[in-house]
Amino acid sequence: MTAHGAPASQEAGEAPPVGATRPAARLVPPPPGDIRGDLRLIAEMVAPGSRVLDIGCGDGALLAHLARVRGVDGRGVELSQAGVNACVGHGLPVIQGDADHDLADYPNGAFDYVILSQTLQATRNPRLVLGNLVRIGRRAIVSFPNFGHWRIRLHLLFRGRMPVTPLLDHAWYDTPNIHLCTIKDFVALCDELGITVERSLTLDRAGQPFTLDPGGGIANLLAEQALFLLRKD
């Protein structure tokens, strides 16, 4: 997964920087198409007409969906040039950036929602990034793969090697996922930072939710990924 997030100089096809006098352009989404189950759940957490920043937006699938079904005023940031090109080609206001270094340049409360989907584990300083998410946005939505899942535990126990899974699909020597965590780890970090969990979901690999308490040990064992709606008062 990619890390992302930053203001940049305004070029043709790019969104204006935060704080610019003219409003951000409305998203012009690509043709409707299916999106991942976890992205649909993220979209359901976003209020219609909100200002949204999607960090690590990839090809813009979530931004386009939010524009189509929620009417958001959205922007994206993406580390890969290919992802930026794909988004801009569809009329999505996306810039190239890095969450670890660039989020500090955004002012407090610049967005209603800041989204970081399947990317936290690829950042160099997850604690700092998480703090910036709830500072920049009135709310933050974060999803990540759960390294405490039972298959991962058994793989390490019986094979003694780093697992490769549908959600963590790189070998240990070329993976961008450098700070893997469990659901319990993430909840503990939110507690340390004084971040309130407004809503949380535990999901299978296809993005379908479980009826499990994310704060409990069973969820940490059975869920393959987790999704959190956060705020800091």
pLDDT at 188 over 60: yes
Mean of pLDDT values over 113-142: 96
What percentage of the chain reaches a pLDDT higher than 70? 86
Helices 126-136 and 183-193: angle between axes, nearest 10 degrees = 60
Binning pLDDT at 50, 70 and 90, where does residue 93 land? very high
Sheet holding 225-231, edge to edge: 94-96, 73-78, 51-55, 111-117, 137-145, 225-231, 196-203
Q: Domain limits of the chain?
A: 37-231
Within a 10 A sphere around the Cβ of 197, how many other Cβ atoms? 15
pLDDT at 96 over 80: yes
In eight-state DSSP terms, residue 147 is T
CATH fold, domain 37-231, is Rossmann fold (3.40.50)
Residue 81 is predicted with a pLDDT of 92
Binning pLDDT at 50, 70 and 90, where does residue 33 land? low
**Tokens at 4, concatenated:** 């992302």
Handedness of CA 194, 199, 201, 206 (dihedral sign): negative
Would you say 147 and 165 are in contact if contact means Cβ atoms under 8 Å apart?
no
Burial environment of residue 232 by CB neighbours within 10 A (0 to 12, 13 to 18, 19 or more):
middle
Tell me the C-alpha distance between 215 and 154, whole Å.
22
pTM equals 0.83
Mean of pLDDT values over 94-115: 94
pLDDT at 38 over 60: yes
Mean of pLDDT values over 42-52: 97
Mean of pLDDT values over 34-38: 85
In eight-state DSSP terms, residue 74 is E
| Spatial CB neighbours of 68, under 8 Å, sequence gap ≥ 6 | 29, 32
Question: Poorest-confidence range of 24-33, 182-191, 211-220?
Answer: 24-33
Task: Identify any residues that bridge with 200 across adjacent strands, giving them in sequence order.
Answer: 228
Within a 10 A sphere around the Cβ of 44, how many other Cβ atoms? 10
CA distances from 171 to 56, 126, 155, 175, 216 (A): 21, 21, 14, 6, 30
In whole numbers, what is the pLDDT of the chain averaged over residues?
Answer: 85
Q: Which has more pLDDT, 18 or 41?
A: 41
